[in-house]
Amino acid sequence: MELELEMPMEGGGEQGRWEEERLKTASLSFGAKKEREKGLKAEREKYQLILEEDEIINFVSSAVIMKGTQDETVALSQAEVQKQSIQEVRRSLPVFPYREDLLLAIQQHQILVIEGETGSGKTTQIPQFLMESGYNDGGMKIGCTQPRRVAAMSVAARVAQEVGVKLGNEVGYSIRFEDCTSERTVLKYMTDGIGLCLKVVVVIIDEAHERTLHTDILFGLIKDIARFRPDLKVLVASATLDTERFSCFFDDAPVFRIPGRRFPVDIFYTKAPEADYLEACVVSVLQIHVTQPPGDCLVFLTGQEEIETCCELLQERCRRLGSKISELLVLPIYANLPSDMQAKIFSPTPPGSRKVVVATNIAETSLTIDGIIYVIDPGFCKQKSYNARTGMESLIVTPCSRASANQRAGRAGRVAAGKCFRLYTAWAFKHEMEESTVPEIQRTNLGNVVLLLKSLGINDLIHFDFMDPPPHETLVLALEQLMAELPVDPMLSKMILASEQYKCSEEVLTIAAMLSVNNSIFYRPKDKVVHADNARQNFVVPGGDHMVLLNVYTQWLESGYSTQWCYENFIQFRSMKRARDVREQLEGLMDRIEVEVCSSGGDIVPIRKAVTAGYFYHTARLSKGGYKTVKHQQTVYVHPNSSLFEEQPRWLIYHELVFTTKEFMRQVIEIDSSWLLEVAPHYYKNKELEDSSSKKMPRKQGKAKEELG
Ligand code: CDP
Ligand code: MG
């Protein structure tokens, strides 16, 4: 017993360690089933026996792997496979026979969902088909979005090689902090943003099944953009998971299915749970290495640290075993691994040795490593989760979903019949794992999403077309958090943010600044009351007090922020100076949250709509003897200083309520009740507004208003 091939859990002779099951999704079967099963059983018994006796068998390195197509199975030596030219490899991919059909479907439909087994050639081949058939003629570009940086880089490198160009020239990639593209770039693999300029003629949303945050947002954006750009082609590429959902979301876009080429995979479960899955992985790899026929091995772990530990343990034990075992190449792969190290996982395994790739779930669908026959799956992954109440975001190791587990198992059946060793029980698979992974958008802090969408000009987040809308609470919290970035109250912030949508932020920023100093703008010395009131009257413009404040500021600005001008117009210079400071600050913030500042060019409707968007809660309706607040039916009055004191419009929004002799509304603006439905449909119901205006509105005053207006 000099070799440390100890079992993490001793199953005992009769019980053994594994339970076996055939992967249900295996689509092709080879040979007589009975025969196969008999063989498997024998193999398994041998396997267990060997484990129990810690016996080592050194396999002769006659590396033979099976290379199969749909109707034939050819045995090729590994060396021969390696020698296949790139073009031959391209032709051998499952997508190849469907090239023409696929191009036709793309030509006929604006949005197409493409479903195909991992490794069928979606990512590397489809963009090449498009280039070969001239989609990029006339300087047009093809973009392919990737959820993972590693995938974007390695796939771009591979495609550049296939096309025969230098990476970064015609074929490039762009990931955060790294742009490997040039003027000449026609095909770009990217993780960041979408850069959907008019030059992009086809956009491929790849790995759609991963349902990452960016992908999900992209769905909503692209769906919208596609409506305005009939020339834009949208391809949604996904592994064989849930493609009906995508089709459904994109208004029943057709699904193009690339028939898979998959060999049967036998699944083995442990009979009892593993206490230490890392150790269990190490042992399983060595067990496979010494007992199983040639073929590479893929281990799924949750992150860099685990992967490094596992690799060290494996190397250490191999060293101790020395020449008793054949060479085992241990290769890690995770997102932060330097790219030269990453490339190693793709290099062919030298004859006589076995490669073991220790990966995060990046190898689940994003990367295809040829030659994998054995998969070891501890059943865990690292997942982001977010608690909207506490605002805490955490990355925790959790059991992966059944869908993930099946994807992982599928990696073993790409080049030949394979085996997947699950380090958990069949019971756990059926009862403890979720059916599928919850989309990231439902378990994340949406703060950045909100900013991202805002920077893209999407303002109405509540009604954004999400495939699976994030929890309402999380979204509202994110909006509030964003508002917290603005050192003004939430309603004022909302008004400012809304001004971007209504293209009047220039004016609204001024109004916000003026409102923040609003009670001390007009100077009314006791000895010059008449003059002061006349001066104030001169500033009155239609719309309401907010518009008056805007007018004051604009005139002051035109005077060159003059002190003299203030003095002559009974305006407090100090307050104006402060308003100017506030405005500058706000403008700086707008820049920071990437909200574009522009002017409505004299149109006062958008300005009043933006005010309504922020202060919809402060709505009052004209009623007998005064106004009634819409939500609480509280009686309130227009302040005598207001520019609307005499006009008494039917609907108005007030900035604040002050109680002096009566409940007065200070700083009021006239609105149209229909705007309330536009800016706050979640708050106001059509009926509520119609009913109150037609039924409760006294006829006389309604008329009076119309005459005045
Ligand atoms: O996207 P999909 O999973 O359908 O397949 P793909 O990524 O286009 O991969 C097709 C084939 O390209 C794989 O089977 C690999 O043989 C090869 N490939 C490679 O050798 N190196 C890469 N970095 C990516 C793909
Ligand atoms: Mg792919």
How confident is the model over 599-626, as a mean pLDDT?
92
**Helix boundaries (H) for 616-698:** 673-679, 686-691
State the pLDDT at residue 114. 96
State the pLDDT at residue 497. 84
State the pLDDT at residue 689. 76
State the pLDDT at residue 470. 81
Q: What is the rounded CA–CA span in Å between residue 599 and residue 587? A: 13
Between 194 and 226, the higher pLDDT residue: 226
The preferred substitution site among 158, 173, 205 for testing ligand 1, maximizing ligand atoms within 8 Å of CB, is: 158
Which of 111-115, 367-371, 482-486: highest mean pLDDT?
111-115
Question: How long, in residues, is the chain?
Answer: 709
Residue nearest atom 13 of ligand 1, based on CA coordinates: 119
Segment 26-78, tens digit of pLDDT: 222 222 333 334 444 443 333 332 222 222 222 212 222 222 222 222 333 44
Q: Which of 73-77, 210-214, 314-318, 584-588 has the lowest mean pLDDT?
A: 73-77
Segment 127-159, tens digit of pLDDT: 999 999 999 999 999 999 998 888 898 999 999
Residue 57 contacts residue 48 (beta carbons within 8 Å): no
- Atom of ligand 1 at shortest distance to CA of 414? 14
Q: What is the CA radius of gyration of the chain?
A: 34
How confident is the model over 300-319, as a mean pLDDT?
94
* Residues with CB in 5 Å of ion ligand 2: 122-123
Tokens, residue 207: 């790995």
Q: What is the ipTM of this complex?
A: 0.98
Segment 551-587, tens digit of pLDDT: 999 999 999 999 999 999 999 888 898 889 888 878 8
How confident is the model over 307-314, as a mean pLDDT?
95
How confident is the model over 470-475, as a mean pLDDT?
77
Residue 160 contacts residue 167 (beta carbons within 8 Å): yes
Is residue 693 packed enough to be buried (19+ CB in 10 Å), middle (13-18) or exposed (0-12)? middle
Residue 548 contacts residue 604 (beta carbons within 8 Å): no
**Could you write out the three-class secondary structure of 248-306?**
HHCCCCCEEEECCCCCCEEEEEECCCCCCHHHHHHHHHHHHHHHCCCCEEEEECCCHHH
Q: Is the pLDDT of residue 625 over 50?
A: yes
The shares of helix, strand and coil residues in the chain, as percent rounded to the nearest 5, are 45, 20, 35
Residue 178 parent element (H or E): strand 178-180
Is residue 610 packed enough to be buried (19+ CB in 10 Å), middle (13-18) or exposed (0-12)? buried
Which residues does 566 contact at the CB level (< 8 Å), separation at least 6? 556, 572, 573, 576
State the pLDDT at residue 516. 79
Quickly state the pLDDT bin for 523 (edges 50, 70, 90). Answer: confident
Residue 310 contacts residue 282 (beta carbons within 8 Å): yes
Quickly state the pLDDT bin for 200 (edges 50, 70, 90). Answer: confident
Q: Which residues pair with 68 in a beta bridge?
A: 73
Segment 629-683, tens digit of pLDDT: 887 788 899 999 899 999 999 999 998 887 777 888 989 999 999 999 888 887 7
Say if pTM beats, i.e. exceeds, 0.95: no
Q: What is the rounded CA–CA span in Å between residue 390 and residue 408? A: 34
Pocket lining for ligand 1, CB < 6 angstroms:
93, 116, 118-125, 154-155, 158, 346, 368, 370
State percent of the chain over pLDDT 70.
79
Residue nearest atom 21 of ligand 1, based on CA coordinates: 158
Q: Is 193 left (phi over 0), alpha (psi -120 to 50) or beta?
A: left
